[in-house]
Structure 1
Amino acid sequence: MVEKVPEAAFREAIANALIHRVWDVDSQIRVSMFDDKIEVVSPGGLPSGITEDEYLSGKLSVLKNRNLANVFYRLGFVEIFGTGITRIKQVYSEALIKPSFEVSENAIQIVLPVYEESTNLTEDEKVVYKLLSRNMLKSMSEIAPYISFGKSKTTKLLKDMEQKGVIAIEGKGKGTKYRIK
């Protein structure tokens, strides 16, 4: 069985959401599943005394719910406190699209994209691929502003990726649009 989103990363995101959430805020952990990603949002921002950089790098962890964290540790759901984000990043180390982490004053969001290895794409193709979506067709005018290549090189890269079976090209001429297969 092929996992669209790595189980280890999903487990870490859920454990983080439960262990680090603020329980006195009348809000729920939200898990949203889409065709191309899973979003996990936990109410409550970072504990005082820890910066966003420290949290995202795994250098420092301050437990908000020590008892719950100890239960998760004893059950084997977490291995070492403070390594969740680092482990998620490690699981995605070979992935084309990396997970994202957004920290605000009132919530922490982890987005786990569908895992796709980048082994058969050139570095230039990876740049273009990251701008595309599975669900939304994008035209050249929606792609071009975000890359440094000219239109002819971008068109060639897109055609090469279609030949590799990675993307689909729909339409003709100015109506041509692109999406991930």
Structure 2
Amino acid sequence: MYNNESEKLELKASFGEWKEIIISLGAFANNKGGKVIVGINDDGSPANMQVGKTSIEDFVNKLKNNTDPILYPSINIKTFALGEVVEIEIKPSDYKPVFTFEKAWIRVGKSNIKLSNAKLREFMLRYANIDFDSQITKNFAIDSAWKEKFNINTESSAVTIADYLCLSLKNERYPQAIVKAARFKGNEPVVFIDNISFNGGLLSITDQLISFIKKNIKFRYEISEKAVRKEIWEYPLVALREAIINALVHRDYSDSGNIQVRIYDDSLEIWSPGLLPKELNINTLHKNSRSIPRNRNILNIFHVAGEIENWGTGFARINRACIDNNNQTPHYSEQSGAFVIKLKPSLLKDKSSDKSSDKSSDKSSDKSSDKILHFIKANPSITTKELANLLNISTRGVEKQLAKLKENNMIMRKGAKKGGTWQIL
């Protein structure tokens, strides 16, 4: 199944040789790319290795801490003979030279050779790159919402990719900057209830994404002593906004993946391509971490637009907003080369839960009616089936609620049953 070692293939018996594995990945990245197979002896016979529960995570952390720039290989586990093998594949780096353990290596035949000083200088001259968002672009239409604040000439040679990504009316050049969001049925990303992709300017995406999330999560009304009705969402909107802006500003745009917002029955996750900078500890993000911007120009544009006020305090605000809303503090993790923020729904109970069953039923009905009004306001074309999925009740139950709202002159139907719209009176 696996051939002998070559310019693009290295065989290792186990992760006990993790240092050699990392050096080989760096050497491949400095040349034409390649693959390391872990779990195979030098002669091609199976080592019958069993992958431990944390083996991959431990290796990825070691790779992250000992490569510069950080390498992001693809990692696949496969069953082979009586054990398992792990295929670790890396593409040629666009940011040569890649250093491993503070040295640079290159693959020559079956061997990893330390780069000479002359070769290092050649690489540095050839692959000297400015930051991705600092590179020059031009000729694009600016979103009218930002024309007054950002008075730039898109035909000028001084317009950067950051300007394009943040201010353009429609992103047609960088597919990795498209943001995807979905509401799934249950707690796994299998069955879609609702999904959407946003390809406008980054500054406009934040509000659009918040609107989509609000359409797909629960809320209740709380009446203050002054009889003011306030919406209490199962996820704090302040925290969601901070997390979304953090992803838009700090993600790795050299990664071909997209920012994803995944809404499940029991959680909401925001996936941002790219791992945290080595200087940040994922276990202490809730404290006031220092800001280490990956995309300085994008961050500056968000700052000028008023979307970022205090740099380096976003995670602290996310945690505080969750606590204030009676949510658990978020869980931060790194998965498949992405930084993931996972939030759990609010722990607040419905105030009607301690009342009699009849009153509880009435309250539940009123609550469903309020939610239907909210969803209709957000999407006048919403269907009965979509409402049923969002409310987690039967279509018959939705029809009863709609009939009640029409009877009370709160809504009306315009147009045909199919293709028509709802109007709030």
Note whether the superposition's TM-score is higher than 0.5.
yes
Q: Which one-letter code corresponds to 2:319 in the other structure? A: K
- Could you tell me how far apart the structure 1 residues matched to 2:343 and 2:292 are? 23
- Could you tell me how far apart the structure 2 residues matched to 1:78 and 1:117 are? 29
Aligned partner of 2:247 in structure 1 is: 17
8 Å CA contact 1:73, 1:80 repeated in 2 = no
- Could you tell me how far apart the structure 1 residues matched to 2:336 and 2:313 are? 21
- Could you tell me how far apart the structure 1 residues matched to 2:284 and 2:298 are? 22
Matches within 5 A, 1:16-95: 16-94=246-324, 95=326
SS in 2 for 1:39: strand
Flag the structure with larger Rg: 2
- Root-mean-square deviation (Å): 2.5
Aligned partner of 1:100 in structure 2 is: 331
Aligned partner of 2:155 in structure 1 is: none
- Could you tell me how far apart the structure 2 residues matched to 1:13 and 1:21 are? 11
- Could you tell me how far apart the structure 2 residues matched to 1:47 and 1:164 are? 51
Aligned partner of 1:111 in structure 2 is: 342
Residues 1:51 and 1:60: Cα distance change in structure 2 (over 3 Å) = same
8 Å CA contact 1:11, 1:77 repeated in 2 = no
CA deviations on 1:118-153 (whole Å, 9 max, x unpaired) are: 8x9xxxxxxxxxxxxxxxxxxxxxxxxxxxxxxxxx
CA deviations on 1:55-99 (whole Å, 9 max, x unpaired) are: 442322200111111122222222211111100100112425332
SS in 1 for 2:246: helix
- Could you tell me how far apart the structure 2 residues matched to 1:46 and 1:16 are? 12
Structure scoring higher RCO (CA < 8 A, sep ≥ 6) equals: 1
8 Å CA contact 2:235, 2:327 repeated in 1 = no
Q: Which one-letter code corresponds to 1:112 in the other structure? A: L
- What is the deviation of 1:38? 1.4
8 Å CA contact 1:32, 1:39 repeated in 2 = yes
TM-score (norm 2): 0.27
SS in 1 for 2:341: strand
Aligned partner of 2:41 in structure 1 is: none
- What is the deviation of 1:45? 0.4
Residues 1:29 and 1:71: Cα distance change in structure 2 (over 3 Å) = same
Residues 1:117 and 1:46: Cα distance change in structure 2 (over 3 Å) = same
TM-score (norm 1): 0.59
- Could you tell me how far apart the structure 2 residues matched to 1:54 and 1:99 are? 12
- Could you tell me how far apart the structure 2 residues matched to 1:116 and 1:20 are? 30
Structure 2 alignment gaps of length 5 or more: 1-230, 357-425
8 Å CA contact 1:13, 1:110 repeated in 2 = yes
Structure 1 alignment gaps of length 5 or more: 121-161, 166-181
- Could you tell me how far apart the structure 2 residues matched to 1:114 and 1:105 are? 24
- What is the deviation of 1:104? 5.0
